[in-house]
Structure 1
C-alpha cells in the first residue's frame, strides 16, 4: 500500500489529469486481497487482477511503475500451490497480462516484455522459496531422525551397561556371601570341636569380605560421577583363578584346577569372562549342589577356549538354573560363545561347559 501511494504524492506534470481520491482508493484496494494470499493464493491473485482491471478500465489515474500486488500474489502462487494449480494459474495470468497490455496499452512490445519479465521473475523466486522450504524441512527431518537414532542408541548402550553391572554385582556378591555363609555356619561347630579350624573359618570370612569390598569399590568407582579419583585395580582375569579356587577350598569344597597354560595370554575381556564364569559355577556348587569336590579345567584348542566345571553333587536342577546361569550365557554370548549344562561324567553331578572363540576382536570386550 505504501508503494502504490507514491505516484499519488509525487507532483505530476501539468498536462496529466489530477490524481483523485477515487483513483487512490481503488489503487489501495489492490493490496487488500493479499491478506488472504497464504490461505487462498489463487483467490488472492484473482482479486488483485480483478481490481486492477477495474482501475484500468474505469478510473483515469496515475499508473504504477510495477504491479506490486500482482507480483506478490503471483509469487505466493508459485511458492505455495501444487504443480498443476500453479501451472494453470501461470498460463491464465500470462494470458490476462497479454490481453491487458494489448487492449489498454496499445500492445506496446516493450511494456509487454517488461511485464512478462517481472512476472516470470516473481514466479521463479516463488519456486526458489518453495525449494528452500522443502530442503530445510528435509534437513530438519533428517536431524530429528538422527537425534532419535542417537537417543535410542544411547538408551540401548545404557541398558547394556546396566545389564553388565548387574552381572558383575551378582557375581561378586553371590560368590562372597555364599562362601561367607558356609564358613559362618561351620564356625560354631568348629569352635566346639576344633578351635584351630574356627580361626581359619573366620579368617576365610574376613578375606572373602575384603575381596568383595575391593571389587565393589571398583564397580562403584566406575559408576561415580565426576573425574576419576585415581587409578583403579583392573577386573580379575583368568590369572586370578588359583586364588579364587583357594578361597573356595576354605569353605570345605575340594576343588582342583587345571589350565595347562591356557590362562596365560588371554585377552583382557575373555580373561574377565572366564574368571566370572568359574566364580559363578563354584558359587552355585557351594550353595546348591551339596557336592564334596569339584574340578575346574581350561582347555585351549586352537582359536577355541573351553571352560569346564564339574562337581559330584546332586546334578542339574529341574528348574534349569537361576540368574547365575543366565549371566553366564550372556557373558558367553558377548564373545560369540556357547554354554552347555548337564550331568557330569557317568551321569553323576553337574557339568558346565562354556566355549569361547578367541579372536583379535575379543580384546576389550567387557566381561
Structure 2
C-alpha cells in the first residue's frame, strides 16, 4: 500500500501546467482514501474493488485532480481477486471489471486506443494473479510431498532401527545362551571329573575356555560394529561349514550328536547359511539346558527350492522341562523370526513316538541357487 500511495502522490508533487488548476488537498485526500482499502485486500478483495471504484468515481466526477498514468489500485484489486477468489467469483468480477472499464473510458476519452490499452493492462494483472495462484499451489504441493516423504523416511528409519535391534538381540541371545549353557554344563561336570577322571576334567576346562573365547570373539565383532559410525569390516557369520565345530562342543558336554546332509548339497547365500547355523545352535542350546538328552540327531535336507533343518533329541520332551526353566522363550521365538525372514516356517513339538523334542525349520532357497 505504501508503494501505491507513493506512486499516486507523484502527480501531486510534479508541477502542473500553469493553464490547469492547481492540485488541491481535497483531491489528494480522496486519492489517499482510494488507496486505503488495499489494507484489507486479502480479507475482502471483492469489497475492496467496489470501494476503490467508488473512490475513483468521486475523484473523476466531483474533483479536478491530476490524472494517474496507471490505475494502480484497480490493477491490484483485480490481481488479488484472480489470486485468492474461487472460480465463480473470479468470472463474475472479471465481467464487472470489463463493464467498469468500458464506462470509465466512455466518461474519459471515448477512444478505442484507451479502451484496448486499459483492457490489456487489466487482463495482464488478472493473468499475473492466476499465474501466482498456480505457482503457490505447485509450491504447496511440492512442500506437502516433501513433508510426506520426510515422514515416510523417518518411519522407515525407525522401523529399520527396530529390525536391527531385534536382529542384534537375536544374535547376542544365540551367542550368549549357547556359550553360557555349554560352560555351565562343563563346569558342573568338572569337579566330579577331577576326582575320577583328571583327563576328562582337563578336556572340560579346555572346552569352557574355547567356548568363552569363541563367544567373546563374536561379541567383540558385534560391539565393534555398534560403536563405530563408519562402515567397519565385518567378519563373516558362522555358516554351515562351522556346524561340525559347534557339534563337537556339544558332544563334549555329554550327549551323542549325529550329523547328516541329504539331497543335492550345495553352497547357499551367506545370510541363509548363517540362519541355518543359528537355528541349529539354538536347538542344541535347548537340548543342553533343558532336555537331558542322551542323543541328538541333526539333519539338513536339501530340496530343489528349499532346505529343511531338523534337530531331534531323545530327552524329556516339551512336557519334561524342569521347573523354573522358561518354556518357549526368546530362543524359539528367534528361530521362528529367522525362518520367516527367509520365507520359511518353524515347527517344534514332540518326536514321532511322543518322546523327545523336535525342531524343524523349512527355509526357502531361490531356484537360481540350484547347481551353483
When the two structures are superposed, what TM-score results if normalisation uses the length of structure 2?
A: 0.92
Deviation of 1:192 after TM superposition, in Å, equals 2.4
Task: Quote the Cα distance in structure 2 between the aligned partners of 1:44 and 1:330.
Answer: 67
* Equivalent of 1:44 in 36, 44, 48: 48
1:235 maps to 2:237? yes
1:26 maps to 2:33? no
Corresponding position of 1:323 = 330
Structure 1 ranges of 4+ moved more than 6 A: 360-363
* Equivalent of 1:346 in 347, 353, 356: 353
Deviation of 1:97 after TM superposition, in Å, equals 2.1
1:255, 1:293 within 8 Å by CA — same for their partners in 2? yes
1:263, 1:271 within 8 Å by CA — same for their partners in 2? no
**Structure 2 gap ranges (5+):** none
Corresponding position of 1:14 = 18
TM alignment of 1:99-138, pairs within 5 A: 99-102=103-106, 104-138=107-141
Q: Residue 310 of structure 1 aligns to a residue in which SS?
A: strand
351-360 or 57-66: which moved more?
A: 351-360
Q: Residue 63 of structure 1 aligns to a residue in which SS?
A: coil
Q: Give aligned pairs, total.
A: 361
Corresponding position of 1:214 = 217
Pairwise CA RMSD of aligned residues?
A: 1.9
Q: Residue 353 of structure 2 aligns to a residue in which SS?
A: helix
Q: Residue 185 of structure 1 aligns to a residue in which SS?
A: helix
Q: Residue 128 of structure 2 aligns to a residue in which SS?
A: helix
* Equivalent of 1:274 in 271, 276, 297: 276
TM alignment of 1:1-367, pairs within 5 A: 1-102=5-106, 104-227=107-230, 231-260=233-262, 264-317=266-319, 321-359=328-366
8-17 or 267-276: which moved more?
A: 8-17
1-10 or 325-334: which moved more?
A: 1-10
Task: Quote the Cα distance in structure 2 between the aligned partners of 1:50 and 1:314.
Answer: 100
337-346 or 249-258: which moved more?
A: 337-346
Task: Quote the Cα distance in structure 2 between the aligned partners of 1:228 and 1:97.
Answer: 71
1:239, 1:264 within 8 Å by CA — same for their partners in 2? no
Task: Quote the Cα distance in structure 2 between the aligned partners of 1:181 and 1:60.
Answer: 109
1:269, 1:362 within 8 Å by CA — same for their partners in 2? no
2:305, 2:367 within 8 Å by CA — same for their partners in 1? no
Task: Quote the Cα distance in structure 2 between the aligned partners of 1:107 and 1:94.
Answer: 15
1:31, 1:69 within 8 Å by CA — same for their partners in 2? yes
Query: Closer, same or farther in 2 for the Cα pair 1:249/1:263, shift >3 Å?
Result: farther
1:23, 1:61 within 8 Å by CA — same for their partners in 2? yes
1:74, 1:123 within 8 Å by CA — same for their partners in 2? yes
Task: Quote the Cα distance in structure 2 between the aligned partners of 1:115 and 1:228.
Answer: 68
Query: Closer, same or farther in 2 for the Cα pair 1:246/1:32, shift >3 Å?
Result: same
Deviation of 1:345 after TM superposition, in Å, equals 3.2
Post-superposition CA distance 1:72-109 (Å, at most 9, x none): 1111111011111222112112212212222x215222
2:264, 2:303 within 8 Å by CA — same for their partners in 1? no
1:238, 1:263 within 8 Å by CA — same for their partners in 2? no
Task: Quote the Cα distance in structure 2 between the aligned partners of 1:226 and 1:156.
Answer: 19
Task: Quote the Cα distance in structure 2 between the aligned partners of 1:28 and 1:345.
Answer: 100
Task: Quote the Cα distance in structure 2 between the aligned partners of 1:150 and 1:60.
Answer: 66
